[in-house]
Chain A
Amino acid sequence: DIQMTQSPSSLSASVGDRVTISCRASQDIRNELAWYQQKPGNAPKRLIYTASTLQSGVPSRFGGSGSGTEFTLTISSLQPEDFGTYYCLQHKNYPLTFGGGTKVEIK
């Protein structure tokens, strides 16, 4: 199985801050990675696919980068509605695997 290691597991930041979340794959997954945001009680929502492509309708303050084994989700200017837990997903190999999640809180 491909292990996806996310860091940090949680963070607290102020409105307007730049936030960076990392995801490391245990082997090369090229660009076969997506990022999701999940709010309590809801299904996850796709933000980024193929590592760096912004999902239609998602604010441009969200950005993804990386390839191979190292990936980053960046929120350029944190907004109050960005609270929640963020997950990376690799879909290069079976079984599909998620990172452990990063909980984002607004100070």
Chain B
Amino acid sequence: QVQLQQWGTGLLKPSETLSLTCTVFGGSLADHYWNWIRQPPGKGLEWIGETSYIGRASYSPSLKSRVAISVDTSKNQFSLKLNSVTAADTAAYFCARRGQFDFWSFDYWGQGTLVSVSS
């Protein structure tokens, strides 16, 4: 059974860098795309971006200038960095998997990490 377990800093000050990591248990990074999605409190879901297991990344145009998603196959994990955060980046952040064999929508999700940005 595939499990995604995520962790990272939950409280940031404006202008700092958000950093989250997601480890994949029970499966390989190969043949899938590894995603980050966020949800501001009380609001809907927003796709941030994804990376393939060879490190080919795609990002939301609205966040592209501030975001980087990377993969570490030796640790079976992938990471999100979002720089120059503001209060608008306060949200629950989820990691998720999708791929050809999962019909291209997200089938497995991490538990979510609440990130708050406040001075």
Known: A43-B111, A44-B45, A87-B44. A94 touches B58 (CB 8 A): yes
Give bound CA distance, A50 to B60, whole Å.
Answer: 22
Chain A interface residue count, CB cutoff 8 Å, equals 25
Instruction: Mark interface residues in A71-107 (1 if CB within 8 Å of B CB, else 0).
Output: 0000000000000000101010011111111000000
Chain B interface residue count, CB cutoff 8 Å, equals 23
Give bound CA distance, A96 to B110, whole Å.
Answer: 18
Give bound CA distance, A45 to B104, whole Å.
Answer: 15
A98 to B46, Cβ gap below 8 A? Answer: yes
Give the residue of B46, B60, B94, B105 whose beta carbon is less than 8 angstroms from that of A34: B105
A58: shortest Cβ distance to chain B, in Å? 12
A49 to B60, Cβ gap below 8 A? Answer: no
B25 interface contact, C-beta 8 A: no
